[in-house]
Amino acid sequence: MINNTRKLLLTLCLLLMAGAIQANDKLSISRAYSPEAPPVVKVLAAYAVIENKSAKDITIVSIHSPDFSKVEFHRMESKNGMMSMVEQKQLTIPAGKVISLQPGEIHIMLIGPRKIFRDGDTLQLSLELDNGQQQTVSVPVRKHDLDNSFF
């Protein structure tokens, strides 16, 4: 009876460890920032470098923030010589690849700020991944410096 209990406990531990290993399919997010904007601006942006170190594609299926009424991924697109932003409902980061969210390309639109953000403040973003995981990202706000581009 004791041997069966030990086997059962060992099996449960191994299953829990396997689940924990699978749960580590997260994205590595670095160099995140949001440029400081004038107080009257109702739409801000955020940029970052997102790396998928796992062996499978990871898709961000939604993004939100308690600091904004709405958060979206946007991609810049040229049509008939005119640039426009196109909302991306989700963002897939291929296995082993890096995506840079940067001005003029794919970026995060922060719509309807609930407060004024100044240089030195931090805003919070919550990412929901296609594997059901949630990932929180702290994004510092900093003065925009055209002479010292972040990317």
- Is position 19 within any domain? no
- Is position 41 within any domain? yes
- Is position 3 within any domain? no
- Is position 100 within any domain? yes
pLDDT given at position 116: 94
Question: Other C-beta atoms within 10 Å of 95: how many?
Answer: 12
pLDDT given at position 78: 83
pLDDT given at position 33: 96
- Is position 76 within any domain? yes
- Is position 119 within any domain? yes
pLDDT given at position 9: 41
Q: Which residue has the tokens 């399919």?
A: 25
Flag whether the pTM goes above 0.85. Answer: no
- Print the domain residue range for 40: 26-142
Give the residue among 147, 146, 143 at the shortest CA–CA distance from 33: 143
State the Rg of the chain over Cα: 20
Number of domains in the chain: 1
Question: Other C-beta atoms within 10 Å of 107: how many?
Answer: 21
- Is position 134 within any domain? yes
Kindly state the DSSP code that residue 92 receives in the 8-state scheme: E
CATH code, 56 = 2.60.40.1890
pLDDT given at position 79: 85
Q: pLDDT 10s digit of each residue in the chain, 151 long?
A: 555 544 444 433 433 343 333 445 689 999 999 999 999 999 999 999 999 999 999 999 999 999 999 999 999 888 888 888 889 999 999 999 999 999 999 999 999 999 999 999 999 999 999 999 999 999 999 997 654 455 4
- Is position 7 within any domain? no
CB 50 within 8 A of CB 99: yes
Q: Which residue has the tokens 């426009």?
A: 84
pLDDT given at position 26: 80
| Rounded Cα gap, residues 129 and 138, in angstroms | 17
